[in-house]
Structure 1
Amino acid sequence: MNLLIAIAKTIAAAVTRSASLTAEAAHSWADAGNEIFLIVANRRAARPPDPAHPLGHGREAYVWSLFAAVGLFVAGGAFSITHGVGELRDPTPAEDFLVGYVVLAVSFVLEAVSFLQSLRQARADARLMQRDVIEHVLATSDPTLRAVFAEDAAALIGLVLAGAGLAAHQVTGSAVPDAIGSILVGVLLVVVAVVLINRNRRFLVGEEADPRVRAAVLRSLLAMPEIDRVTYLRLEVVGPRMISIVGDVDLAGDDAESRIAVRLRALEAKISRSPAVAGAVFSLSAPDEPAL
């Protein structure tokens, strides 16, 4: 869909010579390229663990999503701003406005369909996490959901800005509003790209899981008959919807050291069977450590 929209906008930009449409064409080409990065991100992150990567390859999703965000920044935002500034210095009269309006209208419908699909997925995930949609999109450990949602929302806003710039150009006969529309589209893309870059950076360097996830894991551990207390718990996001668990627990009963070691390994294996857990490591709590 993004590829078809990019081709249509490029043709319309060439026909109308509109700065705003040129910016939107760059935006759609950046989105189309980013989809390739996101496909790679999903596939590489889904690879199973191996001896060199015992927690799996989940963080690769953030690497490739980071590339996509940088592409949006450069190919979309920086290009649109630069082109708009160039048009302010050396204005180019636009023509064949109807072609531009038709392409923008069709693009809006197609982008709206894509956005509604990502919105439905985001709402379903947000309900599970007891968040509102925007909070979930910003906080989710799934970088592709965040990227698609943000890019689709930016695409709809960008189309409105481009349409307003094109209409102002037609009404006033001046290329200045059109150039300003190109700059505004660029600024919008830069803001979105910076947010996406920052979120991927935070997950790459290691981020503690959401407090609600931590509370749910703690409740689950305390509900297990083999655990009396939990005195330490570290949950780190290691991929989309994947965490690693490190904790100190007080096991029920008073077994010998060799038996305790076996029980701890059994506990780790039991918890690691969850599809959301990349790995679990537990140690014994000291008698004087307070329970969480």
Structure 2
Amino acid sequence: MASGKQSKQSLLTVLVALGANIVVALAKTVAAVITGSASMVAEAAHSWADSGNEVFLLQAERRAARPSDELHPSGYGREAYVWSLFAAVGLFTAGAVVSILHGLSQLGTGEPDSNYLINYIVLAIAFVFESVSFLQSFRQARSKAAERDTGTLEHVLSTSNPTLRAVFAEDAAALIGLVIAFFGVLLHELTGNAVYDAAGSILVGILLAVVAFVLIDRNRRFLLGEPAPDRVQQAALATLLQHPEVDRVTYLHLEYVGPERVFLVAAVDLVGDDKESDVADDLYAVAEALERNEHVAEAVLTLSRRGAPSLVPREADTDELR
């Protein structure tokens, strides 16, 4: 499971997003019913899809936080990717598909003039609420990116925390979608041609489809077994070599098994030439010490084969083992 602080930050981010999406979805639905705007229908579908997705993300946080047991010695962290995958599929089906199909059905239908003022007011209110939600996820992403000395967007795409990635992506898509809807309504008003409103619905759907496919692909990769980046590998190697029992490391593999949690496998040479029982105790002691790090779900150590080349650590911060 993720660290307590990380889990609380993710939970707060999801709750803020859920509250904002419900309020916005209700407002957009009312506006869509009153005005009949295709863009507003697409935006309403978008917000209701996001609201449903936040429920999936809350479930992801809850189930991934369960402690390890005999059946799952590495914990239940991968459940976060399962439920986040459900959320991404929901975004595609309930958001993208509905928006695109509705927009296509409105092309050439001669949609009557809408009450444009209602649309503009609702879009403005939605922009404020979505901005608050996006700022929450942006601050969390920027803070984590700064710790790793990387760009915010790069961190969002590569992070092992699917909740942060999903909320950030959905909030960013929501703001872009509102801009698209605004221009769809505005061009409809200025030209009297409803095709712009329908096109806005289609474009919102395409935007949601792109975001959904990115999120689906990232969750798929982590479910299959995403290796930890080189920065984390080097931090783990440096940590291993700090143990007085370890002479050298010849093999190291780290794989994410949940948000900021890795499964560590290593082959090591131990100092001295102890008998077999003592060697087993030493390996167990080193593995147990590694597992006291909140970011190591499980550590498995074995002896290096004779003549295997050593892994040479580069300069690394052992605190970055996360």
- Smaller-chain TM-score range? over 0.9
Deviation of 1:216 after TM superposition, in Å, equals: 1.1
Q: Does 1:40 align with 2:59?
A: yes
Q: Deviations over 1:14-72 (max 9, x none)?
A: 11111111100000000000000000000000001111111110000000000000000
Identify the range of structure 1 (79-88 vs 220-229) with the bigger mean alpha-carbon deviation: 220-229
Q: Does 1:100 align with 2:119?
A: yes
Q: Does 1:111 align with 2:111?
A: no
Output the CA distance in 1 between the equivalents of 2:189 and 2:108: 19
**Deviation beyond 2 Å, 4+ runs, structure 1:** none
Give the equivalent residue in structure 2 for 1:237.
256
Output the CA distance in 1 between the equivalents of 2:309 and 2:213: 41
The number of equivalent residue pairs is 292
Flag structure 1 segments of 5+ consecutive residues without an equivalent.
Answer: none
Output the CA distance in 2 between the equivalents of 1:118 and 1:171: 36
Select 1:139's aligned residue among 158, 163, 167.
Answer: 158
Report the TM-score, using the length of structure 2 for normalisation. Answer: 0.89
SS at match of 1:234: strand
Flag structure 2 segments of 5+ consecutive residues without an equivalent.
Answer: 1-19, 312-322
Q: Deviations over 1:213-263 (max 9, x none)?
A: 111111111222221111000101000010010000111122111101000
SS at match of 1:291: coil
Report the TM-score, using the length of structure 1 for normalisation. Answer: 0.98
Output the CA distance in 1 between the equivalents of 2:234 and 2:112: 60
Output the CA distance in 2 between the equivalents of 1:226 and 1:179: 68
Select 1:15's aligned residue among 6, 30, 34.
Answer: 34
Output the CA distance in 1 between the equivalents of 2:42 and 2:233: 43
Q: Deviations over 1:120-144 (max 9, x none)?
A: 0001111122210111000000000
Select 2:292's aligned residue among 268, 273, 283.
Answer: 273
SS at match of 2:107: helix
Write the letter of the residue equivalent to 1:37: F
Q: Deviations over 1:57-100 (max 9, x none)?
A: 00000000000000000100011000000010423223211000
Give the equivalent residue in structure 2 for 1:257.
276
Write the letter of the residue equivalent to 2:237: L
Write the letter of the residue equivalent to 2:151: D
The answer (yes or no) to whether the contact 2:28–2:122 under 8 Å persists in 1 is yes
Select 2:47's aligned residue among 8, 28, 53.
Answer: 28
Aligned-residue Cα RMSD (Å) equals: 0.8
Q: Does 1:187 align with 2:206?
A: yes
